[in-house]
């Protein structure tokens, strides 16, 4: 844990410069707009430790996989999130001396991420080796309103001398990934142009041939008045720059505005992309910084309008939850169904790939509650459009007849992960796909989705499960052998309760969906099953047979067993673990972890969370106590589910203790890994912990259900929720629930078991 940032409700503040924290801050202060994003790298040169990172959504490279021993069925490559053209850079010379914070004395330093407005700013005073002092103010944002543009404002004031300032804004396409498997360069340079205050660069990924075009347009100001400057251009392979010098007197301020555009061939033709990049950046410059910023702030205001959570009485929790909501929104805006929520978003290159089951299991609930339905729908369509690839992926592993296995990690639908115990065995991810469809329909009521897309996916998933089970003559039940559950501290186990459960549930839900779709649109249904060559008699019958005879390991006392043989382990609990041995994933060899009783994230509880209506409170409590005692929470995705269940069991102390582990995971760098990037998808779990945990949000029979409890430390908490057309502001404070309907659409709410109706633009206050 590392606590060096100031607490503030809307800001992340670093108020002194410690080079040891810099890479962590580069992650934490990252900005993005759904289309592209970047780490908080400095504009001026920095020779200290840094992880340079600029990322463009959907643009990846198929990095040849690196394995110890190839096994049949392994994917050929791992899709890497690509570090792409650095558009941020502005080299600065002061009287001929380079400005580099690694070589100056930094007299004061403040870096601020304004989460309300989506800006990153930095102010510092540096003393150069010559003794000359300069004050620098930089501010930048990547426009949410016009998501192919951004702007950087950078000003210098010499404090104790008259100065000649030299600015060299540039675009640098000669970038590499730190974690390239084979130290390859992933980019080809296609074109560059530079002319006066404008410069352009077009690069292309090798193999995948994505084109990215960047533009920059430079303006200059002396004491806030625009000045005409003459720029000296320079260019080489993959690099363009424009340099100018200006003499200014002490305490005057020279400012440069660098407008930038970032376009990708996902949205532009290869032929026109460079001229489009020109057009876009010129329009941005014409519009000007103030107008761009105003539009950008406006966009953020409307995002917060839907998604904010206000916590009174706990400043750290307030800052933590906003930090999570902020990053989720700048990673994914829901405008483009080809994109998804990468585990590190635009904050780092580790893991690679754009989508994991995290999206379906953790992010969908966030976007369902905080954004219009089209956002979640786009996430579902992402998988729908990759269904063919998921069927191919199944075929590679020996499945037939349209059985789909969605990839563990992917960019384009093809599997990228390449450890057999994950790629081949973490098939529970298929369950998250069906659950997400269920969850979407439950929250939005949009059953048309089942007709047009959902059922087709569900059938492919059910076909997978029907082939993946086998009948055990020993148990006289259907079993699922050789899997890795969400608890990745077990590999290749038999009858993982969670996997068996979600397989069985998927078959059930598919058959329910069949009935709904038949009823809603018999014609479309018939066309679908004909296209899928589905034999209703045979397949549905077999699915029902599996549903009725699925093996679900369970002890006599009602504890669901994580997998066959779990009770053969030495039954230790986490409280008995020597703290010196934690985290066990850093202290223990892998085999010791595998055969120990300890759990990375408790998948039995994940299943109980998904299907809680099927279980009595007594069963939930028993299993919660059993598994929480054995869970080390070494996955960032782990604690949130425990918070929801602990809240349901009215164990608010436990719930709050676990909540703390998730909410400030990155700001306080619990796991000493923030320098690699943020845990974007688990941020959605933090949201889930508050809304489904403390607020007890559920959906039942098309109605919103709330069962609020407030952590002792908090005086109130308030959140927004979008539910079937209503926009509600819900506040829990001092034993009162205040609900304000900020939309025209009336809503029905079940609060602590009692139903209330709130008209359009109405509000109610309920003592509870």
Instruction: Write the CB contacts of 387 (distance below 8 Å, at least 6 apart in sequence).
Output: 404, 456, 457, 460
Q: Which of 488, 634, 731, 740 is catalytic?
A: 488
Closest CB 385 distance from a second copy, rounded Å = 25
- Return the structure tokens found at 464: 């997978």
> Which 3 state secondary structure label does DSSP give 48?
coil
- Cβ atoms within 10 A of the Cβ of 616, count? 9
Closest CB 456 distance from a second copy, rounded Å = 25
Instruction: Write the CB contacts of 537 (distance below 8 Å, at least 6 apart in sequence).
Output: none
Q: Of the two residues 445 and 482, which places its CB atom closer to a second copy in the complex? A: 482
Q: Where would I find the H helices in 532-679?
A: 541-548, 584-587, 590-595, 603-610, 617-628, 639-648, 652-663
Q: Are 205 and 186 in contact (CB under 8 A)?
A: yes
- Strand order from edge to edge, sheet including 747-751: 698-700, 703-706, 747-751, 754-758
Q: Are 698 and 705 in contact (CB under 8 A)?
A: yes
Measured CA angle at 596 (ends 69, 351), to 5 deg: 45
Closest CB 488 distance from a second copy, rounded Å = 11
Rounded distance between C-alpha atoms, residue 432 and residue 436, angstroms: 6
Q: Of the two residues 275 and 492, which places its CB atom closer to a second copy in the complex? A: 492
Q: Are 70 and 181 in contact (CB under 8 A)?
A: no
Rounded distance between C-alpha atoms, residue 407 and residue 570, angstroms: 34
- Return the structure tokens found at 659: 């909540």
Q: Of the two residues 64 and 236, which places its CB atom closer to a second copy in the complex? A: 64
Cis preceding linkage at 18, omega within 30? no
Closest CB 397 distance from a second copy, rounded Å = 4
> Which 3 state secondary structure label does DSSP give 718?
strand
Rounded distance between C-alpha atoms, residue 597 and residue 573, angstroms: 8
> Which 3 state secondary structure label does DSSP give 453?
helix
Q: Which residues bind a second copy (CB under 8 A)?
A: 65-69, 71-74, 396-398, 418-420, 424-425, 470-475, 479, 481-482, 491-495, 564-565, 567-571, 585-595
Q: Of the two residues 571 and 715, which places its CB atom closer to a second copy in the complex? A: 571
Q: Are 335 and 36 in contact (CB under 8 A)?
A: no
Gyration radius of the chain's alpha carbons: 27
**DSSP line for 231-254:** -EEEEETTEEEEEEEEEE-TT--E
Closest CB 480 distance from a second copy, rounded Å = 9
Q: Of the two residues 324 and 596, which places its CB atom closer to a second copy in the complex? A: 596
Burial of 224 (0-12, 13-18, 19+ CB in 10 A): exposed
Rounded distance between C-alpha atoms, residue 26 and residue 77, angstroms: 28
Rounded distance between C-alpha atoms, residue 605 and residue 703, angstroms: 25
Closest CB 586 distance from a second copy, rounded Å = 7
Q: Of the two residues 203 and 563, which places its CB atom closer to a second copy in the complex? A: 563
**Eight-state DSSP code of residue 8:** -
Rounded distance between C-alpha atoms, residue 11 and residue 6, angstroms: 8
Q: Of the two residues 196 and 482, which places its CB atom closer to a second copy in the complex? A: 482
Q: Of the two residues 574 and 750, which places its CB atom closer to a second copy in the complex? A: 574
Closest CB 454 distance from a second copy, rounded Å = 27
Closest CB 477 distance from a second copy, rounded Å = 9
Quote the distance between the C-alpha of residue 152 and its chain's center.
25
488 is catalytic: yes
Q: Of the two residues 83 and 418, which places its CB atom closer to a second copy in the complex? A: 418
Q: Of the two residues 495 and 737, which places its CB atom closer to a second copy in the complex? A: 495
Maximal CA-CA distance, the chain: 89
CA neighbor of 158 nearest in space, from 191, 189, 125: 125
Closest CB 350 distance from a second copy, rounded Å = 11
> Which 3 state secondary structure label does DSSP give 483?
strand
Point out which residues pair with 122 in neighbouring strands: 111, 138
Q: Of the two residues 66 and 576, which places its CB atom closer to a second copy in the complex? A: 66
Closest CB 495 distance from a second copy, rounded Å = 8
Q: Of the two residues 168 and 500, which places its CB atom closer to a second copy in the complex? A: 500
Give the end-to-end CA distance of the chain in Å, rounded to a whole number. 38
- Cβ atoms within 10 A of the Cβ of 290, count? 8
Closest CB 134 distance from a second copy, rounded Å = 44
Closest CB 471 distance from a second copy, rounded Å = 7
- Cβ atoms within 10 A of the Cβ of 337, count? 17
Rounded distance between C-alpha atoms, residue 424 and residue 405, angstroms: 9
Rounded distance between C-alpha atoms, residue 137 and residue 153, angstroms: 8
**DSSP line for 158-221:** ESSS-EEEEEEEEEE-----TT-TT----EEEEEEEEETTEEEEEEEETTT--EEEEEEEEEEE
Closest CB 470 distance from a second copy, rounded Å = 5
Q: Of the two residues 69 and 523, which places its CB atom closer to a second copy in the complex? A: 69
Active site residues: 488
């Amino acid at each position: 844990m590392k606590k060096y940032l100031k607490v503030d409700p809307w800001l992340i503040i670093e108020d002194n410069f410690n080079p040891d924290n810099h890479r962590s801050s580069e992650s934490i202060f990252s900005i993005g707009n759904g289309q592209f994003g970047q780490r908080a790298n400095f504009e001026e040169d920095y020779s200290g430790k840094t992880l340079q990172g600029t990322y463009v959504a959907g643009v990846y490279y198929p990095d040849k996989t690196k394995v110890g021993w190839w096994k049949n069925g392994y994917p050929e490559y791992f899709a890497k999130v690509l570090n792409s053209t650095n558009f941020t850079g502005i080299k600065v010379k002061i009287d001929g001396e380079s400005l580099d914070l690694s070589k100056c004395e930094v007299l004061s330093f403040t870096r601020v991420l304004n989460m309300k407005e989506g800006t990153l700013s930095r102010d510092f005073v540096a003393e150069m080796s010559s003794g000359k002092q300069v004050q620098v103010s930089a501010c930048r944002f990547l426009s949410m309103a016009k998501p192919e543009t951004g702007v950087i404002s950078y000003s210098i004031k010499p404090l104790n001398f008259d100065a000649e300032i030299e600015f060299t804004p540039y675009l640098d396409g000669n970038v590499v990934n730190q974690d390239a498997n084979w130290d390859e360069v992933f980019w080809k340079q296609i074109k560059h142009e530079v002319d006066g205050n404008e410069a352009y660069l077009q690069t292309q990924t090798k193999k995948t041939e994505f084109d990215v075009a960047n533009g920059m347009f430079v303006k200059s100001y002396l004491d806030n008045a625009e000045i005409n400057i003459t720029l000296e251009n320079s260019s080489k392979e993959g690099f363009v720059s424009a340099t100018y010098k200006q003499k200014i007197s002490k305490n005057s301020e020279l400012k440069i505005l660098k407008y930038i555009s970032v376009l990708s061939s996902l949205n532009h033709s290869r032929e026109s992309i460079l001229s489009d990049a020109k057009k876009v950046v010129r329009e941005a410059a014409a519009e000007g910084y103030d107008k761009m910023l105003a539009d950008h702030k406006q966009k953020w205001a409307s995002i917060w309008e839907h998604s904010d959570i206000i916590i009174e009485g706990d400043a750290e929790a307030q800052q933590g939850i906003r930090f999570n909501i902020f990053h989720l929104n700048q990673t994914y805006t829901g405008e483009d169904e080809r994109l998804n929520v990468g585990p590190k978003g635009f904050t780092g290159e580790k893991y690679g790939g754009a989508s994991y089951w995290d999206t379906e299991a953790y992010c969908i609930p966030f976007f369902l509650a905080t954004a219009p339905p089209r956002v979640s729908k786009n996430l579902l369509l992402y998988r729908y459009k990759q269904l063919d690839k998921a069927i191919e992926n199944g075929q590679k592993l020996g499945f037939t007849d349209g059985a789909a296995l969605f990839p563990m990690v992917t960019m384009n639908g093809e599997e990228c992960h390449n450890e057999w115990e994950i790629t081949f065995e973490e098939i529970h991810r298929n369950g998250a796909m069906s659950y997400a469809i269920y969850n979407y329909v439950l929250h939005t009521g949009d059953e048309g989705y089942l007709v047009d897309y959902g059922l087709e996916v569900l059938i492919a998933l059910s076909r997978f499960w029907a082939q993946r089970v086998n009948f055990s003559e020993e148990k006289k039940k259907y079993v699922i052998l050789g899997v890795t559950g969400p608890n990745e501290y077990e590999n290749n186990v038999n009858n993982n309760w969670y996997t068996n459960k979600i397989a069985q549930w998927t078959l059930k839900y598919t058959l329910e969906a069949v009935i709904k779709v038949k009823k809603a649109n018999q014609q479309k249904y018939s066309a679908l099953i004909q296209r899928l060559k589905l034999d209703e008699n045979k397949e549905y019958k077999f699915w029902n047979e599996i549903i009725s005879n699925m093996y679900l390991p369970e002890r006599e006392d009602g504890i669901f067993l994580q997998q066959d043989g779990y009770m053969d382990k030495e039954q230790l609990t986490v409280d008995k673990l020597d703290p010196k041995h934690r985290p066990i994933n850093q202290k223990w060899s892998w085999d010791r972890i595998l055969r120990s009783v300890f759990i990375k994230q408790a998948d039995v509880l994940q299943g109980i969370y998904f299907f809680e209506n099927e279980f009595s409170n007594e069963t939930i409590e028993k299993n919660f106590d059993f598994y929480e005692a054995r869970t080390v929470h070494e996955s960032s995705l782990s604690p949130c589910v425990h918070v929801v269940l602990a809240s349901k069991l009215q164990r608010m102390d436990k719930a709050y203790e676990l909540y703390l582990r998730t909410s400030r995971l990155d700001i306080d760098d619990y796991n000493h890994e923030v320098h690699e990037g943020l845990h974007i998808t688990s941020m959605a779990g933090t949201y889930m912990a508050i809304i489904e945990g403390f607020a007890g949000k559920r959906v039942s029979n098309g109605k919103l259900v709330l069962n609020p409890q407030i952590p002792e430390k908090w005086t109130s908490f308030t959140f927004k929720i979008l539910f079937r057309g209503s926009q509600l502001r819900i506040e829990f404070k001092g034993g009162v629930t205040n609900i304000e309907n900020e939309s025209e659409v009336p809503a029905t709410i079940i609060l602590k078991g009692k139903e209330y109706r709130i008209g359009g633009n109405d509000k109610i206050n309920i003592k509870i």
